[in-house]
Amino acid sequence: MTWTLVLALAAGSYVFKVLGLVIIGNRALPPMLDRCLTLIPAALIAALVAKDTFSLGQDLGLDARAVGVLGAVIAAWRKLPMLAVIGVAAALTATVRLLG
């Protein structure tokens, strides 16, 4: 990847963001579209976590990371503080790696 490509992608991203502000302006979006747009960041983060958890190079696989993510999901579901969620995930991942 070259710096030219990085700068071109950054400029394109900025243009799309400004274009959205110019086209939409102060108008309100339809409620259905607004709800969908609100969910996009969470869906993207979930997709990145899933990809990084279950991929081993070009292959799919299960390892200690899956146990850590499962522990983090359960800790978040139980409404533990964020630092506790991270600690649970790290501890479970380290334990499985130590035992395996």
Q: What total of structural domains would you count in the chain?
A: 1
Residue 18 belongs to some domain of the structure:
yes
33 within a domain of the structure (yes/no)? yes
Confidence of residue 100 (pLDDT cuts 50, 70, 90): confident
Residue 72 inside a domain? The answer is no
Query: What's the pLDDT tens digit per position in 13-43?
Result: 999 999 888 888 888 888 998 899 899 999 9
pLDDT at 1 over 80: no
Is 28 part of a structural domain of the chain? Answer: yes
- Residue 48 covered by a domain: no
83-94 tens-digit pLDDT = 999 999 999 999
- Assigned domain for 63 exists: no
Long-range contacts from 88-95, C-beta under 8 angstroms, 24+ separation: 92/64, 92/67, 92/68, 93/64, 93/65, 93/67, 93/68, 94/64
Is residue 31 in some structural domain? yes
Structural domain containing residue 28: 1-43
